[in-house]
Amino acid sequence: MAGTFHLNAAVEHFQLVLDRCPVSHPDHAAALANLALARLKGYIFDDFQDIDSTISLFREALTLRPQRHPDRPLSLYNLTEALKWRYLKENTTADIREAARLYHELLPLCPDGTYLRSIAAGTGVDNVIDECNNLPTDASDEGICLRRVVLELCPVGHQRRPRALDELFWAFRLRFIQSGNIDDLDEGIQFLREAVSLCPKGHTDRDSYLNNLAHSLGYYRFNHSGNPNDLDEAISLHEEALRLRPVGHESRDFSLDTLGGALVIRFNKRGAIDDITRGITLHREALTLRPPGHPRRHATLNNLGIALQRRYDKLDVSEDLGEAIDLYRESLRLKPLDDPERHVPLRNLSSVLCSRFRLTQKNEDIKEAINLCQESLASLPLLHPRRCLSHVSLQRAYLSRYRVQHNPTDLSSAMEHFRQSSTHLTEGFPQRIHEAIDWALQAEIYQHGSALEAYQVCLQLFDDHVMTRSSIISRREAATTYPGMQSLPVDAASCAIRRGNLQHAVELMEHGRGQQWSLVSRLRTPLEDLESMSPELARKVSELNKRLAGAQGSAGSTDRAAADRAAIEYRSLTRQWESAVAEIRNVQGFSRFLLPPAYEDLQAAARHGPVIILIASQYSCGAIIVPTSGEPHHVPLSSISFADLNTLKERFTKEIRRASRMNPMETRKDLIVLLRIVWNEIMLPIVDVLENVLKLERRSRIWLCPTAAFTSIPLHAANPFLTKADHSKEPCLEDLYICSYTPTLSALVRSRQLMKKRATPSFVAIGQGQPGTGKGKALLAVDSELQLVHELIPATANRTIVSGDAATRAGALESLEENTWVHLACHGKQDPAQPYYSHFVMRDEHLTLLDIMERDIPRAEFAFLSACHTAVGDEKTPDEVIHLAAGLQFSGFKSVVGTLWEVDDSVAKHVVEGFYKYMFYPKEEGVMDCTKAAWALNCATHAVKTKVPLEQRMVFIHIAILFSYRCFVGWNVFTECTCIPLDSFAPSSSA
């Protein structure tokens, strides 16, 4: 009682002091604080109940002590103490949140060694941190802001920092689950990685942080982004966490369950039986640790059900189906009706009942499956990422019932749920792409009108997905991940053709082909026209182009945390770039800036001769001829099927290999048979349209744009090998027209645009005939070939030779960058596993396709690649046209001569000699014009028929660029053969 008496007396005394110190009095703030402290003491000892007015006094005192006031730190501390006590007694969350923010301001104002620092930075702030860490996870902006404040109260070295990092991770992960924004998950994973790093082996919390990190990588991020590295890392982390939780550990059940789930996911992606077997074993062990009554039993029942269902789906283990249904039903019974995760067992039970319906066709199963999934869908907010999976389950259920009962309403419902799942914005790209691919496939199978829409959605999704990958290598990995994606461009074009829309077929074909190149080329788009309209926007996007190009890597970092940070930074730059591009599209005349080109834009590729797109689809094979003007023409290739083309491709590979072992003078009978097939079944129907419909004159230019299996067939060498009645030869394709190839129409348009800027010609001949040990056999004819080429180049040109010890990777790159014309003679190697590592063999290191791609060589004009396999496409992604010749074209070379297979350097030298003689005829004029390349190659291969075997004449092809009629002045251009005999040229001393 005495203590209460004295405290009340103090309060009365301080109230009198305050009354005598009005607001204007210099001691008013001190009087407020003293009164508030006395009242707070009474509250602490339960002798005074009006804490709200006490806190108001502290707040008033603080407002009278603004920034830089010497007593502001003390006022901050006093207010935090009052808020902490009210929180402890009344559990008002807002108070502990405010206390944390006040400490965040207070601590930097308390120098080391001061009394206030000793009381504020000790148990006071630690208590606030602990109470904040115990708050429920809050994914709102305010909640995450609080977690950031708490983390800053725990600097590096603070014992509570790992827990603060973990709590911040949970907030970000919850926001990701609610909104599907991958940036939230990535940022959360960054915090958790740091928490793990701060808990070395032996730390009591390491197992928990490892498990959380693994689950976030292997379940959430892998399902959203599809990066296999995440799944493998997750399993490794789960393994470590399980080792830290031996038999008897209180959390062993969590590690068993999460590791089992990760193994099941990997089995679903890769099909390794060991993964599913072990995953099921781990789930069963976890279930024994969660007996009836355990609060997490429902989760393990669900997870074991998933594992058994996956094994049934892939391995058809019949007993798994019934057990999975029982497990899902029990899991659902244990889930309260208001549980936010109830949608999971609802959807899973629906899915397995659908599987049983496909087996037994019992109508009650499919009715229950649809009802369960509709309940699952109804329980989720519109933006919840998992709504996508409910749409997936519904489309499968409706489609399953349609296959049995043939009710058109079910087919329409299935297609609508395909549409909803494919376009659900908060779901990750992998799931949506899988759904869009399946949508297109099922729409084709059942002849549904949504097929074309499905193709368009899928192409755009894939484009957006690949754009999120910061490394060139990872983009190709993404391109090869999805079964059915490789054929999608040709299948989409085939669909548009069958719908009678040829222009749209060309647009779809272009959108789907060469995505790897088009994504990188966006960052090299000329901006001169934009600069005249909006210089500020041009500078903005140019700077972003440079930053994005710099952020692109050829391969992922082995440091996973660094790779995550790079991915986050890349996506941030990408969003800024997309925002800038959106601004540009609002500028008059730029509404289609960097959008997939319309047919009118693509037709510019045919300005100097028709472009022939050869489409090899499982649904139809044919060609679309894009003329210089007017509508495109469809040429059905009805006498050759998709399977026939693949067989033809394989036969060519076999015969080319066999021919290379034959005597040069021996007739290539089998190869002739194949070239006749190419003529009769493929090129003759096209030639008929060119001659009789388009009235294309002979010796005109044409461009071939092959797809799929067509990319591995030497179309330019099509030949009837027939003799007329007058003993003259029936003309072959190269007698009729000057042929070039182009990987895409856009590439051809881009090359022509770049030709507007011409640089002073300079020529370099790079050769490496003596590669290092283990890099291939010596090429004995390389040095003489280089000398021959050097002598054939006009004397007016700046000419250099780089060979021997100087022909290194660095030396070759420097020569490529410094010269406009390049002749390269060496070993070439197409890497079938990773085409970006395809390379030219130099003395020291390989000159790879990646090396070339990373250079922008705007002065470059022409390259002759006298090396093996420089224009061979990638088997896994043939329509990406990833080869050395395409790499040079992408880097700036407007015209490239490449090779389809192995080159015999001693024989091919005759083609090289003929090419350069025609290229620079008449030599005394000294004109270096790369637009003559296709004609020169055509003439050279005609002229060396008696010296060079068929497969070595066919091996060279010309890629891209327009044709200059100026080179034919004074010559009979349109006769059957305009080639001047090589004997007409002065003999070369090196020939």
Same domain, yes or no, for 736 and 768? no
pLDDT tens per residue, range 182-200: 888 999 999 999 999 999 9
Q: How far is the C-alpha of 712 from the C-alpha of 7, rounded, in Å?
A: 96
Tokens describing residue 808: 């290194």
Q: Is residue 408 part of a domain?
A: no
What CATH number has the domain bearing residue 939? 3.40.50.1460
Three-state secondary structure call for residue 840:
strand
The CA distance from 837 to 297, in Å, is 50
Average pLDDT over residues 607-613: 94
Q: What order do you get walking across the sheet with 828-829 strand by strand? A: 828-829, 839-840, 847-848
Predicted confidence (pLDDT) per residue in 90-108, tens digit = 888 888 898 889 888 888 8
Helix axes 745-754 and 502-512, enclosed angle (nearest 10): 70
User: How many Å apart are CA 444 and CA 454, to the nearest integer?
Assistant: 10
Query: 534, 563, 586: which is the final residue of a domain?
Result: 586
Q: Share the mean pLDDT of the chain.
A: 85
- Give 588 or 549, the one with higher predicted confidence: 588
pLDDT digits (tens, 9 = 90+) for 873-902: 555 555 555 677 777 777 778 888 988 888
Cβ partners under 8 Å of residue 336, min gap 6: 342
Q: Is the pLDDT of residue 975 over 60?
A: no
Check whether residue 509 and residue 605 sit in a common domain.
Answer: no
Query: Could you say which of 133, 154, 185 is where a domain stops?
Result: 133
Q: 558 in helix, strand or coil?
A: coil
pLDDT band at 670 (very low <50, low <70, confident <90, very high): very high
d(CA 423, CA 442) in angstroms, rounded, equals 17
Contact 732, 783 (CB under 8 A): no
Whether residue 70 is preceded by a cis peptide bond, meaning omega within 30 degrees of 0, is no
| Per-residue model confidence (pLDDT) at position 14 | 83
| Res 324: pLDDT | 96
Residues 53 and 123 in one domain: yes
Residue 978, domain member (yes or no): no
Which of 243-247, 382-386, 521-525 has the weakest average pLDDT?
521-525
Q: Are residues 803 and 874 in the same domain?
A: yes
- At 557, the pLDDT band (50, 70, 90 cuts) reads low
pTM of the model: 0.78
* In-domain check, residue 494: yes
The kind and range of the H/E element at 243 are helix 228-243
Residue 237 within a domain: no
Residue 57 lies in a domain: yes
Distance between terminal CA atoms of the chain? Answer: 120
The first and second tokens of residue 271, run together, are 């099909």
Reported confidence tier of residue 634, pLDDT bands at 50, 70, 90:
very high
When pLDDT is cut at 50, 70 and 90, the band that residue 677 belongs to is very high
Q: 536: pLDDT confidence band, cut at 50, 70 and 90? A: confident
Q: What CA–CA distance (Å, rounded) separates 400 from 410?
A: 9
Per-residue pLDDT for 237 more than 60? Answer: yes
Domain end residue (candidates: 110, 133, 156): 133
From residue 460, give the alpha-carbon distance in Å to each of 421, 508, 514, 625: 15, 10, 14, 25
6 compared with 490, residue with greater pLDDT: 490
Range of the domain at 451: 421-429+439-586
> What mean pLDDT comes out for the span 851-857?
76
Q: What does the radius of gyration of the chain's CA atoms come to, in whole angstroms?
A: 36
Counting Cβ atoms within 10 Å, is residue 406 exposed (0-12), middle (13-18) or buried (19+)? exposed
> Which residue in the block uniquely carries the two structure tokens 């004009």?
861
Name which of 532-541, 682-691, 706-715 the model is least confident about: 532-541
Can you give the CATH number for the domain in which 26 is found? 1.25.40.10
Question: Other C-beta atoms within 10 Å of 979: how many?
Answer: 19
C-alpha to C-alpha distance for 710 and 724, rounded to whole angstroms? 29
Do 925 and 791 lie in one domain? The reply is: yes
How many CA within 13 A on the CB side of residue 746?
22
H helix intervals, 605-668: 642-659
Q: Which residue has the higher pLDDT, 282 or 752?
A: 282
Rounded CA-CA distance 895/957 in Å is 11
Let me know whether 581 and 628 are in one domain. no
- For residue range 52-71, list pLDDT tens digits in order: 888 888 888 888 888 889 88
Q: 956 and 810, same structural domain?
A: yes
The region of weakest confidence among 2-16, 404-418, 549-563, 676-690 is 549-563
DSSP 258-311: HHHHHHHHHHHHH--HHHHHHHHHHHHHHHHTS-TT-TTHHHHHHHHHHHHHHH
* Dihedral (CA of 62, 66, 70, 73) sign: positive
Q: Is residue 352, in this structure, part of any structural domain at all?
A: no
Are the beta carbons of 849 and 880 closer than 8 angstroms? no
* Three-state secondary structure readout of 351-381: HHHHHHHHHHCCHHHHHHHHHHHHHHHHCCC
Q: What letter represents residue 603's amino acid?
A: Q
Question: Which pLDDT score, from 0 to 100, does residue 428 have?
Answer: 79
Q: Answer yes or no: do 10 and 81 share one domain.
A: yes
| pLDDT, mean of residues 607-624 | 94
Judging by beta carbons within 10 Å of its beta carbon (0-12, 13-18, 19+), is residue 645 exposed, middle or buried? buried
Q: What is the pLDDT of residues 778-802, one digit of tens each?
A: 888 889 989 999 888 888 788 899 9
CA separation, residue 597 to residues 490, 545, 579, 605 (Å): 17, 20, 20, 12
Instruction: In whole angstroms, give the CA distance from residue 899 to residue 863.
Output: 12
User: What pLDDT shows up at residue 173?
Assistant: 92
Q: Name the β-bridge partners of 865.
A: 824
Asked if the structure places residue 865 within a domain, the reply is yes
Question: How many structural domains are present in the chain?
Answer: 4
- Cβ-proximal residues to 147 (8 Å cutoff; 6+ apart), any chain: 132, 164, 167, 168, 171
pLDDT digits (tens, 9 = 90+) for 105-139: 888 888 888 888 888 877 778 888 988 889 899 88
764, 906: one domain: yes
Q: Are residues 774 and 907 in the same domain?
A: yes
| Joined tokens for residue 759 | 């640089």
Specify whether the CB–CB gap between 600 and 503 falls below 8 A. Answer: no
Q: Identify whether residues 100 and 129 lie together within a single domain.
A: yes
Report percent pLDDT > 90 for the chain: 42
Domain annotation covers residue 344 = no
192, 193, 199, 202: CA torsion to nearest 10: 110
Token pair in block for residue 109: 């104002």
911 & 801 share domain:
yes
